[in-house]
Amino acid sequence: MDFRCGYVSILGRPNVGKSTLLNKLVGQKISIVSPKPQTTRNIVTGILNQKDLQVIFLDTPGIHKSKNSLDRYMEKSIQKSLEGIDLILYMLDGTKRFFQEDIDEIKAFCAGETPVVILVSKIDDTTFEKLYPELAKLNSIQNVQEIIPFSSFNGKNLDVIKETIKKFMPISPAMYPTDTVTDVSERFIASEIIREKALWLLQQEIPHGIAVEIEKFEQKDKITKISATIYCEKDNHKKIIIGNAGSTLKKIGEESRKDIERMLNQKVFLELWVKVKERWRDSDILSSNLGYDKRDIG
């Protein structure tokens, strides 16, 4: 039996469910999920392993127009994710209308050499009557390999997605050990988990202009000690993140610690701080200091 291995880039607008799909396909939490757009800032590699297949996924930031230094970093991340890949999965939100700019963007990708499969997410949250006219809009796009409606929530057609991906993977030995699910560090995933919990708990109270920096990550036999700083852009945001008598920050810490303990499979001591770095997203230097360095992606 021939072994297949290749690279797949997951593209689409912010908040269409790219990170949720990645986690489902890999079978483990790799990329964070929140109700806010532009949650994913770095290209996160998730790896699907089967007996005759390895797929390396690149989960990219959502496609959007650049407004600041962080946005420009995210835009360059998307461009980087398209280099040397074997398949593009372009995701659309099945609960929303497909606009002409979506169609034009997919057409642009289909005009390239890399095959494109369209995935329509969240079909568990809509009806056939609403979805059908939107799917019909996709018929005008030439060179689309397949269109697959699916649901990460109930698992519908996830197996179809996996089988479809497999068809486009070249015959090749595995690029990573077959027990590997990601090539990002535990330290990075820990920082992303903290950011995810903050985004969920704060919801609309502050913009998504927060970043997390791990100051200390010490792993010992029975416990991992982590010290992390949550950065925000304004003093009033800092007060909201901390909450009344520290209640919100304590909740962020508790929820983060549980997920990090599951990831590391051991006890975690987590210490959180909140600091203000005004307009950090507008500064190449501050963005770089907080882990979003355009030099890292070419």
19: which 2 tokens?
Answer: 């990170």
Residue type, 243: G
pLDDT for 290: 45
Domains of the chain: residue spans and CATH: 4-168 (3.40.50.300), 186-297 (3.30.300.20)
Name residues whose C-beta falls within 8 Å of residue 279's C-beta, 6 or more positions apart in sequence: 233, 286
Phi (first) and psi of residue 199, to 5 degrees: -60, -40
Cα 214–215–221 angle (5° rounding)? 85
Phi (first) and psi of residue 229, to 5 degrees: -120, 130
pLDDT for 193: 87
pLDDT for 205: 60
pLDDT tens-digit readout, 158-181: 999 999 999 999 999 998 888 888
Phi (first) and psi of residue 65, to 5 degrees: -80, 140
Which residues of the chain are modeled with pLDDT < 70?
31-44, 60-83, 204-209, 279-298
User: Does the pTM of the predicted model rise above 0.75?
Assistant: no
- Beta-carbon count within 10 A of 183 CB: 13
Alpha helices in 85-207 (DSSP H): 100-110, 128-136, 158-168, 186-202
Name residues whose C-beta falls within 8 Å of residue 128's C-beta, 6 or more positions apart in sequence: none
pLDDT for 201: 85
DSSP state of 140: G
d(CA 95, CA 104): 19
